[in-house]
Amino acid sequence: MFAWDPRDLNLEQAAAVEEASSVFLIACPGSGKTRTLTYKIAYELSRRTDKRIVAAITYTHRAADEIQERIENLGVDTSGLWIGTIHSFCLEWVIKPYGIYCPELAHGYRVIDMHDRELMLERLCAPHRGVTHWDCDYFVNETGYLLACPDTRKHDAIHKILGEYFGELAASRKIDFELILWHAHALMRDKKHIAVLLSRVFSHVLMDEYQDTKQIQYSLLISILRAGGGRTNTFIVGDPNQAIYGSLGGYAMPVADFRAQAGIPIKEMELSRNYRSSERIISYFSNFNVHATNIKSAGNNAAFPSLVTYNHYIAHTDVHDELVRLIQVSLAAGHAPEEICVLAPWWILLASTTRKLVAMLPHCQFDGPGLVPFSNDYDNFWFKVSKILLTESSPRLLIRRMRWANDVIKDLGDFGIDTSRLTQRLLLRECNAISLMETDGLSYLDKAFTALFERLSISIESFPPLTEHREAFFDSSASRIERLQKAGASYINDVSFFKKVFRERTGITVSTIHGVKGAEFDVVIAFGLLQGMVPHFNEPDADVAASKLLYVLGSRARKHLHLMSEVGRPRGRYGVYTPTEPLIACVFAYDLD
């Protein structure tokens, strides 16, 4: 039985972990949500009395990796755990075993990545003036699809474009990420036994970040719970104030609605103690509370004399100088580079900014999820291989690399390749044996992929899925690098930068607000807090969407928070951006710095 030191969990956390029934857990920022979820999984794994599986659905692959590694570090056997995103769950447990029942999937399919999707939509949008692929975002629900674009004048054209898009996908037996959800839902709707079988497979289904979950995703989980009639428990955790994907269909389902639809007892619980931020930081980001929640400052930083500054007079041409000044002040105050974060709403702002920061602060290192220099399609086979090839062989990374190797071997088997003699250690040994002097990142990976499969005696050309995934990986990577370089990140294709992607975070983080969700830093510095960026121009309820983004942004900080709405940033040909309205309207005793 998994046991923990009483100091590891507070009373709220321990109660949620030990609760025998299903739980709906509302967790404020800094409340130890991930720790609680991790301990809950470890606790249930250790209590297994049959061969049923504990499934954990996370919002990102990165979160899945982090939770898996935490559980492994607790010394708990994870052989009975499945963890991944909702799209991975649908592919693994619904589409792969039952896709034969769906005419669109029965003869094979390929999941296209975001790059392929953008190229298709750009071509289809070309005849329609004023409509771009950004306007064509859509999300599926239980009856069809809905448009994310708030401009109803474009809807007729977008529906026509998407009609052609769906037709081309069907003709070439391809699906995108939304269609993964649609087909999984349709299969479970039409073949009732699938939900029944899955309820017998899973003892628990846990869901992280429920506030960003779509209706169709809730429906998939509810189908399993309802079919199980109480035999499958759930553990749902999140924070309705951090629901920042509303334009793509994400929303925080009320617990009463979820309980009624699932038809099983579900206990509502909360984590209300913030161990991350000072009382001053908490009092600030609470101004952007959309859903009333109770937050108590409980950590070592509670009484810290935090600085909270807001500069809405600085010219956009002076932003980089101010960022450098704030970074230097933070470093001089003793904050480690890893505890400083620079945020902007759009990654395109970060690419050019990072280039300038690198030049202006040559002794500092910068890193961040917004600057991944190659295709980060986690379901692409070659992306999985690249993770192994780009990380060092060390005892500290062995468990992580063994798990990645297992994923690669599993995919090879799914592609029809005989893997009976291929072990995780053999694959890692062959990867470690590759030595190349190539400095160009994409060329390095291209040669490394070829060398590895020659060593494994596998002909890439003999297996079409390998070729298709490889083409998609390099096409997407080349496009991503080109855009980053045009934005000023000329260094982005160096292999040394590639090798930073999968390392533990080092240096000053640069990220979008969306990309930094779940992270925390001593010092958070944000710019670009402008109407049309925060919120994004596509958001239908601007003030609510902006408040949630500002709530997420502010709650990342432990000690200091510096905000900027720069003046004069061009918007279109003749206009300029103005400050984000809920931010400029917030009455707070800001510090002068």
The gap from C-alpha 59 to its chain's centroid, in whole angstroms, comes to 6
**What single string gives the DSSP state of each residue in 432-482?**
HT------BHHHHHHHHHHHHHHHTT--GGG-HHHHHHHHHHHHHHHHHHH
Cβ-count burial of 570 within 10 angstroms (0-12 exposed, 13-18 middle, 19+ buried)? Answer: exposed
Under 8 Å between Cβ of 347 and 370: yes
252 sits in the region (left: phi over 0; alpha: psi -120 to 50; else beta) called beta
Q: Identify the helix (H) or strand (E) that includes residue 110.
A: strand 110-111
- Rg for the chain, CA atoms, rounded: 24
Is 32 annotated as belonging to a binding site? yes
Q: In what order do the strands lie in the sheet with 521-526?
A: 308-311, 557-564, 521-526, 340-344, 508-512, 366-367
Task: Give the pairing type, strands 138-140 and 145-147.
Answer: antiparallel
Is 34 annotated as belonging to a binding site? yes
CA proximity to 390, closest of 344, 432, 330? 432
Give CA–CA dist 277/554, Å, rounded: 10
Give CA–CA dist 520/339, Å, rounded: 8
Give CA–CA dist 480/442, Å, rounded: 11
Q: Would you state the structure tokens that stand for residue 14, as one six-digit string?
A: 């321990």
Give CA–CA dist 47/238, Å, rounded: 24
Q: Please say whether the dihedral angle defined by the alpha carbons of residues 572, 575, 578 and 580, taken in this order, is positive or negative.
A: negative
Is 29 annotated as belonging to a binding site? yes
Under 8 Å CB-to-CB from 344, ≥6 apart: which residues?
350, 353, 510, 512, 513, 526, 527, 528
CA proximity to 26, closest of 328, 235, 170? 235
Under 8 Å CB-to-CB from 85, ≥6 apart: which residues?
57, 58, 59, 60, 61, 64, 378
Within 10 Å of residue 588's Cβ, how many Cβ atoms? Answer: 12
Give CA–CA dist 507/509, Å, rounded: 6
Is 20 annotated as belonging to a binding site? no
Amino acid (one-letter) located at 135: D
Is 84 annotated as belonging to a binding site? no
Under 8 Å between Cβ of 22 and 277: no
Amino acid (one-letter) located at 491: Y
Give CA–CA dist 197/563, Å, rounded: 51
Residue whose tokens read 């370089």: 485
Q: Please say whether the dihedral angle defined by the alpha carbons of residues 271, 276, 282 and 288, taken in this order, is positive or negative.
A: negative
Under 8 Å between Cβ of 13 and 271: yes
Is 299 annotated as belonging to a binding site? no
Under 8 Å between Cβ of 440 and 495: yes
Within 10 Å of residue 486's Cβ, how many Cβ atoms? Answer: 12
- Residue numbering of the annotated binding site for ATP: 27-34
- Residue numbering of the annotated binding site: 27-34
